Amino acid sequence: MKTTRTALALTAGVLAPALLLATPSLATAAPVTASASTVIGSDTENAAAIARILADPASGRGVIREANEALSGTPEDRVAFLTTGYAKAQDEDNMVAIFRILHTNPATGLQVKREAVAALEGTPADRAAFVATGFAKARDDDHKVAILRILHANPVTGKGVKREANKALDGTPADRAAFLATGMRLAQAEDDRVDVARILARPGISAALRAAAEKAIEGTPEELRHFLAVGQYQV
């Protein structure tokens, strides 16, 4: 882990934080990997195979459109869909999913962007692989870079943030996503409460500063941050 972390730390200086909190999830941008058999048989069997594809919740809009056209068409249309049309429609849906990943979230990280563009310029198999597994891996790489930036870009990072950031780096992809989504905020609030308590412990602080600090220490993480960054100097 230390070797990987060192390499990523070098990358962190040039890669933007990948706070992909709003990145399209694989639930909405999933590869079309229908489990239905596409073995060509009688027209009745082919129609049944297409119906199974339509019933698969992973089937995207392109697959659904082409499958419905095949079902309402001729036996030859159904054979054509199962032999070539299905794969073509799957690739269309995967391309749409990748475009959504690239363009619906301005915070998409550089690694995700790099891999997504490579998939779009590659083969249908490349696109299916990116949406199935590559997106999650690239997003986790971006999360690692974002956490390393939190650890190393700010010399006054508090103990709580450092502790939780290191736990996330040593944990799972889900741990890293959770740290960036909520854990960082909570750990920062922990550190901020310690800093406000230090202010309260100073000898001879004014009554106004004490009142403001006591209010902040009982407040939200955002109120704590505002007090330390602005409020204490306004009192």
pLDDT over 70, % of the chain: 83
How many whole angstroms separate alpha carbon 179 and alpha carbon 182? 6
The number of beta carbons lying within 10 Å of the beta carbon of residue 109 is: 25
Q: What is the pLDDT of residue 10?
A: 38
Asked which of 8-12, 34-38, 146-150, 207-211 is least confident by mean pLDDT, the reply is 8-12
Q: What is the pLDDT of residue 39?
A: 59
35, pLDDT greater than 90: no
Q: Kindly write down the DSSP assignment for every residue of 47-90, as one continuous string.
A: HHHHHHHHH-TT--HHHHHHHHHHHTS-HHHHHHIIIIIHHHHH
Q: What's the average model confidence in pLDDT over 40-60?
A: 94
CA–CA distances in Å: residue 220 to residues 180, 199, 212, 217 = 18, 18, 13, 8
pTM comes to: 0.74
Q: Choose among 223, 233, 231, 158: nearest CA to 194.
A: 158
Let me know: does 176 contact 144? Beta carbons within 8 Å. yes
Q: pLDDT tens-digit profile of 72-120?
A: 999 999 999 999 999 999 999 999 999 999 998 888 899 999 999 999 9
Q: Choose among 53, 134, 60: nearest CA to 97.
A: 60
